[in-house]
Amino acid sequence: MDKITKHRISVYGINGCHDAMESNLVEVTQVYVEKDSPAYNHNNVKKLCEKMPQDRVNILDGNRFRDKIDTNRSQGILIKAQASTFASLPKTEKKNSCYVILDQVQDPHNLGQILRICAGASIDGVIITERNSVSMTSAVAQVSQGGFAKIPLYSVININQAITHFKKDDFWITSFENNIDAKDWYKIDLKGRSILIFGGEGNGVSKQVLKNSDFTATIPMSNQMNSLNVSSAVSAIVFERLRQVLS
C-alpha cells in the first residue's frame, strides 16, 4: 500500500480554492466564504460548496470572515485542507511520461512556482527529497495557484534510488547543471520517457546524481550571469520538452 503523508494547509483565492475543492489529491476540511464577495457569487464555487458536506461550508459576514484571514486578496474564500505527498514512486506505460526531480530545493516559493509550472506543462509528477527540502506547506500551495491540486508530489529518501527505479522503466535521466561537460539544453532530446533533475538554490545537483544521469545539460547565460533561479530553469526546460512532444 502506498504511504501517503497528509499536510495541513490553508489557501485563499478563487483559483487555488476551486482547484483544491475539485482535486482528488486534496481533502478540503473547511471552506469559509464571505457573503457578497466574488467567491460568494462565483457559480463554480457555489456548485462545489453544494456538493460538500454542509458542516464543512461556512458562509460568513465580512467581519467574521476577516477574523479568519489576514489579507485583502482572498476574493472572499479561504479553505483548510490536507494535501498529500506520496512515498511510492509511480510506474507508467505512458509513452512520453515525464517527471521532475528536485535535489534539495528549500525555498517554498520555488516549489510552489515549480508545481504550477509543471502542472501547466503536462509533467506527470514532481519528486522532492525527504530531507533538506521544503515539503508541502500553506506557502507552497498558495504560490502554486492551484498547481498543488493538479499534479502529484512525491517524497523520496534517496534520489539515486529513484533514478534506479525509473531506469528500470526505460526512462532517460537528464540533470541540469552548469559544468564544462554539459550540453546546451536545446541539443537534448526531451521526448519519450524522461526524468528531468534540477538542483537546489545553494549546491545544485549532487555529484552522485550527476554521475548516475544519462545526460547533463545547461542553459547558456550571457552578460556574465551564472545561472537562472531554479523555478525559471524548470520553466524553460519543461516547456521546451512540451514543444518537442507536440511538434
Give pLDDT, residue 224.
67
d(C-alpha 119, C-alpha 95), whole Å: 18
Q: Is the pLDDT of residue 26 over 90?
A: yes
What mean pLDDT comes out for the span 24-44? 97
pLDDT tens digits, one per residue of 49-71 = 999 999 999 999 999 999 999 88
| Domains contained in the chain, CATH given | 4-84 (3.30.1330.30), 89-246 (3.40.1280.10)
Q: Are 166 and 89 in contact (CB under 8 A)?
A: yes
Give the pTM.
0.93
Per residue in 92-103, pLDDT (tens digit) is 888 999 999 999
The label of the residue with cell 526524468 reads 195
Residue 192, C-alpha cell as written in the block: 519519450
Residue 74 predicted with pLDDT over 50: yes
Q: How many residues does the chain have?
A: 247
Task: List, for residues 141-179, the tens digit of each pLDDT value.
Answer: 999 999 999 999 999 999 999 999 999 999 999 999 877
